Amino acid sequence: MPNAVMLFAAGFGTRMGALTKNCPKPLIPVAGKPLLDHALGLTASIPTRVVNAHYHADQIESYAKGKDLIVSHETPDVLDTGGGLRHAMPLLGPDPVFTLNTDAVWSGPNGLDLLTQAWNPDKMDALLLCVPLRNAIGRKGGGDFRLSDDGQLHRKGDLVYTGAQIIKTDGLTDIPDTVFSLNLLWNKMASHGRLCGLSYPGKWCDVGHPEGIQLAEEMLQRV
């Protein structure tokens, strides 16, 4: 399994409205603990854990103290997922890594364990954990991908990307932009038939918007 994970926590959380005026989205409490706690709970067995920070970075840094969590500071600009991951590569190392969004809550098995079991670096450059739209609580809009019989991902379908994946990072060095989404790297991988997916069997809640907080708490109460 990869021995490093990147937790994305640098964004402005604009969909959260007033809730993120004085607090970064990853520190908003859900079911009595910050969103970042929910994400970190999936990463306990991973030796190197890196979180990026930009918006209210001082709060992210304070949270990270004593948690065996390395902070990757993005300044003066927030770098998006691709740029942020590349910026953190000296901290993460050269091998494939997990990445995990911090604005979701899960109900079911540990998705990172499922990714580890399915990961095949000989055939994959990235393995994205997706959830069927019917089990994507709080999702606004349609799906992101469809999964073919050979395990490859294709755009447009009823699967929602959960924000968890295993990905090889060497291709990031070929992208000239400073600020860019991981979608650029995924598109290159897909063109070579090496963007793969795995369907998550549990439920997943998007807490990127205010309504998601109550939906996530209700989901967790049903466990």
The residue extents of the domains of the chain are 4-221
What pLDDT is stored for residue 223 in this prediction?
A: 67
Give CATH for domain 4-221.
3.90.550.10
| Angstrom distance (rounded) from CA 191 to CA 115 | 22
- Residues 197, 123: contact at Cβ < 8 Å? no
Tell me the one-letter amino acid at 100.
L
Which among 200, 175, 176, 177 has a CA at the least distance from the CA of 188? Answer: 175
Residues of the chain where predicted confidence (pLDDT) is lower than 50: none
Q: What pTM value is reported for the model?
A: 0.96
The DSSP bridge partners found for residue 137 are 205
Q: CA 185 to CA 38: how far, in whole Å? A: 27
- Return the pLDDT at 153: 98
φ, ψ of residue 100 in degrees (nearest 5) = -150, 125
pLDDT tens digit sequence for 203-216:
999 999 999 999 99
Q: pLDDT per residue over 17-61, tens digit each?
A: 999 999 999 999 999 999 999 999 999 999 999 999 999 999 999
Closest CA to 25 of 34, 58, 6, 5: 34
